Amino acid sequence: MLLSFYVHIPYCIKRCGYCDFNTYTPSELQDGATLEIVSGDYIDAVLKELEFAPKDQVPTIFFGGGTPSLIPPRDLGRVITAIKNRNGLTDDCEITLEANPDSVTAEKLEGYFAAGFNRISFGMQSTSTHVLKVLDRTHDPENVKRAVDMARAAGFMSVSVDLIYGTPGESLSDWQSTVTQALNLGVDHISAYALIIEEGTKLAAQIKRGDVAPPDDDLMADMYLYIDQACGFKGLKWYELSNWAKPGFESRHNIAYWKSANWWGLGPGAHSHIDRKRFWNVKHPTAYKQRLFDGLSPIADSEELTDEMRRSEYIMLSSRLRTGIAKRALTIAQYERMAEHIKADLIIDTTDALVLTATGRLMADRIVADLLA
The one-character DSSP state at 61 is E
Which of 353, 286, 350, 295 is closest to 324 using CA atoms?
Answer: 353
Write down the pTM of the prediction.
0.93
Measured CA distances, 45 to 50, 77, 237 (Å): 9, 14, 39
Q: What is the largest CA-CA distance in the chain?
A: 63
Tell me how far the alpha carbon of residue 224 is from its chain's centroid. Answer: 18
Give the domains, in start order, of the chain with CATH numbers: 4-258 (3.20.20.70), 321-372 (no CATH)
pLDDT score for 134 = 78
Residue type, 260: S
pLDDT score for 32 = 44
pLDDT score for 200 = 65
pLDDT in tens, the chain (373 residues): 999 999 999 987 766 655 656 677 766 665 444 555 566 789 999 999 999 999 999 999 999 988 899 899 999 999 999 999 999 999 999 999 999 998 899 999 999 999 999 999 999 999 999 988 877 776 677 899 999 999 999 999 999 999 999 998 899 999 999 999 999 999 999 999 998 766 666 666 776 787 777 778 899 999 999 999 999 999 999 999 999 999 999 999 999 999 999 999 999 999 999 999 999 999 999 899 999 999 999 999 999 999 999 999 999 999 999 999 999 999 999 999 999 999 999 999 999 999 999 999 999 999 999 999 8
